[in-house]
Amino acid sequence: MKIGLIGYGKMGKAIEKIAIDRGHLISFKTNDFNLNLIKDVDVTIEFSTPESAFTNIKNCLDSNVPVVSGTTGWLDGFDDIKRLCDKKNGSFLYASNFSLGANLFFELNKKLAHLMSDKKEYKTSIDETHHIHKVDKPSGTAITLAKDIISDSRYRDWELDSYSNDKININSYREKEVNGVHNVTYSSENDIISIKHEALNRNGFALGAVISAEWLVNKKGCFSISDMLNMG
């Protein structure tokens, strides 16, 4: 399979290594994407920046090239991309986190949220820590966790550094080269319940992205990693 890499930072390099190890060809790798690059690819994997992600994905869909994206911080434009994908009968898969462990953590978070939904004595908060190079706050993973809790709770929204009773407080920290740590905490006057996911390296994210690209080729539609993992 011929793969194009849009975004060639640390994640892009990790994806490249795993893709080659799995027998794929890297057709191009770039931080400066243009349409001439995607003339001879089977699928693109997009890990760029919040500012460029929307245009990168749109260009792939306009060119009828399947695209897997893990860039966070651009989701204000997600509905527009979904409509474009439907209009073009395209192939698009997005995940805020491609790690298998993190996606199991998402499912655990949903189950715990359901158990805690009527426990009004507990206040819910999310802490996320990443490396100092991560631009967006909070992380896409933290937002996904918060939205999944909100869908089965009294909370109406999430907010960064908020302590209002009807919003989930998300605390974001940027420290050294931390790959990603997420804690979901339920606190009362009497005790604390907490679940945690910690990424030890980038390999889990990279492997998930490559497997998602393998899965997406020859499919049509707008998908999530839950579709690929059959967790939906």
- Catalytic residue positions, numbered: 130, 134
DSSP string, 204-223: HHHHHHHHHHHHHTT--EEE
Distance in angstroms (rounded) separating the CA atoms of residues 2 and 207: 16
Q: What is the CA radius of gyration of the chain?
A: 18
Is the backbone of residue 29 left (phi > 0), alpha (psi -120 to 50) or beta? beta
The 10 Å Cβ neighbour count of residue 50 is 15
Q: Write out the H or E segment, with its range, that includes residue 159.
A: strand 157-160
User: In the block, which residue shows the tokens 């993190």?
Assistant: 102
Spatial CB neighbours of 11, under 8 Å, sequence gap ≥ 6: 47, 70, 202, 205, 206, 209
